Amino acid sequence: MKIRLSKPIIAHGAEVSELDLADPTSEDVMELGYPYLVVPSDTDDTGIELRPKVVGRYVSRLAKIPMSSVKQMAIADLQQMQGVVMGFFGVSEEGKISSKSASSN
């Protein structure tokens, strides 16, 4: 999945303005964990707590760029990447788990 960046970064000594993210594998999940936690709320419902460091590790691994490059990203670009990474796990940008994902947990 190709993602255009609003601000170029330097990766492997070259300026990069677009990242190509591979789909995560089961091995990636076992090594990096999930990019979110399901947490209880005050209303006996559940919510999603995002884990930005884990999201950054997924971006690094899936785009094959070093973490130092991920850390250069504009906040808007990192937020866009967060939405893409969360989408791999069936979590919408609103923080709701899809019924497909929820039934598999």
pLDDT at 87 over 50: yes
**Number of Cβ atoms within 10 Å of the Cβ of 98:** 13
Backbone angles phi, psi at 74, to 5 degrees: -65, 150
Is residue 100 over pLDDT 70? no
DSSP, residue by residue, 20-70: EPPPP-HHHHHHH--SEEEEE-TTS-EEEEE-HHHHHHHHHHHHT--HHHH
CA 83 to chain centre: 6
Q: What is the model's pLDDT at position 55?
A: 97
pLDDT tens-digit profile of 41-85?
A: 788 788 888 999 999 999 999 999 999 999 999 999 999 999 999
**C-alpha to C-alpha distances, 103 to 14, 32, 98, 100, nearest whole angstrom:** 43, 22, 9, 5
What's the mean per-residue pLDDT of the chain? 88
